[in-house]
Amino acid sequence: MLWPRLARALLGKPLTDPAPPVPQETVAALGERLAAAARTRLGRSLSIREVDSGSCNGCELEVTALQNVAYDLERFGLRFVASPKHADVLLVTGPACRNMTEAMQRALDCTPDPKWVVAVGDCAVDGGVFKGSYAVEGGVGAVLPVDLLIPGCPPSPEQLLEGLLALLEAEAAPAPK
C-alpha cells in the first residue's frame, strides 16, 4: 500500500514551493546587529525554538505550516528544536502575557549566545488587540530584546519564511565595516 506511493513520490517532482524573495533592507538591518564573531558561529543554518508567550494559537498554526511539504523549512537549514538550550533563534508568538513573563525570561537565559529573538504576529509586535489588558505586558519587546518583527495576524508562512531567510542572509553577508 505504502511502498508504491513512496516510490512514486521519489520519481515525481517535489511539491515544495520556490523560496520567497527576501527584502534586502531587512537583511542589511539585521547584519548590522550581528557581530563578526557571531556570524561565523551561527553559519548558514539556524536552530529555532518556538515560544508561545500567550498567543491565540493562530500564529502556531502558521508556524506549524512552515514545516509542511509546501514550505519545507529544513531545506534552508532552518529547523525547530525542542529546547532553548539547542536554539539560535527564539521565535516568539503572542502578546507578552504576565503569566508567561518568567518562563520567557528563563527561555532566553537558557539560549546560548549568539542568538536572535524574533517576534511573530501582531500580538508579539506590540500586544495587538490585547494591548492595554491587565494581563499583558505589551509586545514581546516589553520582556525580551527583539531583533526582528514579523507582523501579521497571523503572518502567512511566506511572510515567516521571508523573515527567517533574512536572518540567514544577514549571517552570510560580510560584516559591515
Give 79's contacts (C-beta < 8 A, 6+ positions apart).
Answer: 45, 46, 47, 48, 73
The nearest distance, CB 93 to ligand SF4, in angstroms, is 6
CA separation for the pair 53, 107 (Å, rounded) = 11
Q: Which of residues 34-73 bind other proteins (CB under 8 A)?
A: 50-65, 67-70
d(CA 129, CA 43): 37
Q: Which of 24, 133, 145, 176 is in the footprint of other proteins by CB under 8 A? A: 133
DSSP type of residue 112: P
Question: Is 24 a binder of other proteins (CB under 8 A)?
Answer: no
In the complex, the smallest distance separating the C-beta of residue 21 from other proteins, rounded to whole angstroms, is 19
- Please pick, from the candidates 31, 94, 127, 163, the single residue that binds ligand SF4 as defined by CB under 6 A: 94
- CA torsion 97→100→101→106, rounded to 10°? -150
The site for other proteins (CB under 8 A) is made up of: 1-2, 5-6, 15, 50-65, 67-70, 80, 82-84, 94-95, 97-103, 107, 129-130, 132-136, 153-154, 156
